[in-house]
Structure 1
Amino acid sequence: MPDAEASRWISTFLDARAAELGAARNTQLAYGRDLMDFADWLARKGASFATAARDMVEDYLVHCDAQGLSKATRARRLSSIRQLYRFAFEEGWRTDNPALRLSGPGKAQSLPKTLTEAEVTRLMDAAKVRGRNPEDRLRDTALFELLYATGLRVTELVSLPVAAVRGDPRMILVKGKGDKERMVPLSTPARTALAAWLAHRDAAEDEGRKAGRPPSRHLFPGDGREGHLTRQYFHSLVKDVSVLAGIPPSHVTPHVLRHAFATHLLAHGADLRVIQTLLGHADVATTEIYTHVLDDHLKELVLTRHPLARKG
């Protein structure tokens, strides 16, 4: 296990990174896990963050490759190490930077998976009937309608405060990565589903108050530590609904629904900059990948549906 000094390096670095960049909690956790793994590897070699040389960083990257880690994971681990040593050099913890100018594996660019509009409709229909009781069905319908209407990240969805949707708003305020806020519009089906869920949720809250239970500030209360539905529960729910909808569960995740939101908007003529704003992307280059998804879809249509298309 990493020693106390390694833990101090990691915690101090992550605290500074959060303060300066407003890094998202899940990103911080990923960087922390990466650096703990590197510290553990160094400890087994009799080294530490303070003593590791460039060749040891390179050997660790070879070790990660031998473990079969993906290019994306290896690239993130190197990024974590680079940023840690840059911080250590600036703080005077080291007089050199052993990760300087190290080349990483690169991140393989893969097009995001998405769903057809017909598949999304099947998911919505399945969400309406999957639950064991009216409460589950109303909640599940609201979750799926809201996700597809807004393209929220799963953390943004499950942690949404109930105050954000009071008064049947046409748009809601969402706090995203790095606590950056954005406005996203609600579709009519989403507003209808939310109104039905709110009526049931508020009635249940009133009963809870009578029994001495404190009210929840979350739109989707849960038993998790944060007091709202957990990411893990929602991932599991999406898999269950996809099975009921007759779609392979390996094809559907909350993020795939986010991709479907963006791809379908683009297919219907939405401006790329608008989609960038709705998704909360800092750089439009991140959003541009959806144009490639659409290009592939159009190519497939031409090759399979055009009257002059030739098989084979």
Structure 2
Amino acid sequence: MTTVRTARRTGSATWLLLPAAAVVLVFFFYPLAAILWRSFTEPDFGVGNYLAVLGDEVQIRVVLRTLRTASIITVTTLIVAYPYAYAMTLVGRRGRTVLTLLVLMPFWTSVMARNFAWYVLEQRGGVIEKALAALGVDGVVLLGSVAGVTVAMVQVMLPFMVLPLHSSMSGIDRSLLHAAGSLGASRPVAFLRVYLPLSMPGVLAGVSVVFIMSLGFYITPALLGTPQQALAAQVIGTQVNDLLDFAGAGALGAILLVVTLVVLAVLSRVAAPLGTSVAGGADRGQ
């Protein structure tokens, strides 16, 4: 009887998953497969589009610039988000609610409104230039620079880093820090040897999400950057909208996807020993 009930529950769960699986199949896998197919078949069958991308020094620089910019955004977001998420675990319920509302505010604002706001702040004669000039730093205009794009994208990506970090940190038993202190560890040592490794799952989740989203961001670099500092998404948009080169755009997108998967695989390899050491440290603590 128990086996029959379990089988029925499994069957019911399978049927419940079918709508979501259909949506993913139709709106994600099918377009992706179509893009990959066109990249291999137009104008002729083969890898000509990929060889054209890999042989084009400009497009190689665009891919490298995209990876570098996404890495800078990810690291900067992590540096800002980690103490913020840590503070969310220290304050009371009301304070945590306020901090959560503040970090979620970008979700409640239109993407175009946010970017135009940054355009006004970063332009020549804007608030940022005047503030830096008041501090003795003259002639710094962020609009049209990689730094300006990075600042704006960090603000957009902050929730995607804070929320996984807070989810991971809220499950850490703070008595482990007190136990480390009772064994002679100072607060910084206890944080680095106990708390930081235990928060690594949240770090890895946030870094993965922010890095992947930064690779494909289009609006912010297009509005705040310049054609000379174009990222991969802008080049793909130009190929599709202006040149009607769907196959070439698909090849560039596929190469960027492969690079992303490789980076994620490296991150997983790096995180695996950390997860082992964390488990081992928890076992020894018990």
Normalised by the length of structure 2, the TM-score is 0.28
Q: Which has the higher contact order (CA 8 A, sep 6+)?
A: 2
Normalised by the length of structure 1, the TM-score is 0.26
